[in-house]
Amino acid sequence: MEMGDVKRIASSSSILCCQADNCTADLTDAKKYHRRHKVCEFHAKAPVVIVSGLQQRFCQQCSKFHELPQFDDTKRSCRLRLAGHNERRRRTTGEGTSRENR
């Protein structure tokens, strides 16, 4: 198994583990979100995680790990997704349908 691969312990029922290097968290009883994205709660919120030998952070918008340069400061969403989010917000408020007019 290569570094960063999803780890499964062989048994009658496979145990799903976090994809962070050297993390032994058992995701069997974790929330569905953490099981789906194969990340424990600690590493989903950590500012720096080693995945595949690289310093990364879990993006709460993409639900994936990205390298640290893709984030601004301590934000937990990558720049690309934040830019799309901000663009959508500017577009809806710039069209004359502001919240005060509703």
Percentage, residues of the chain above pLDDT 70? 77
Q: Give the chain's length.
A: 102
Q: Is 63 helix (H, G, I), strand (E, B) or coil?
A: coil
- 71: phi > 0 → left, psi -120 to 50 → alpha, else beta; which? beta
pTM higher than 0.85, yes or no? no
User: Average pLDDT for residues 63-74, to the nearest whole number?
Assistant: 96
Per-residue burial over 9-42, b if 16 or more Cβ lie within 10 Å, else e, is: eeeeeeebbbbbbebebebeebeeebeebbbbee
pLDDT given for residue 10 in this prediction: 42
- The predicted-structure confidence for 28-66, as pLDDT tens digits, reads as follows 999 999 999 999 999 999 999 999 999 999 999 999 999
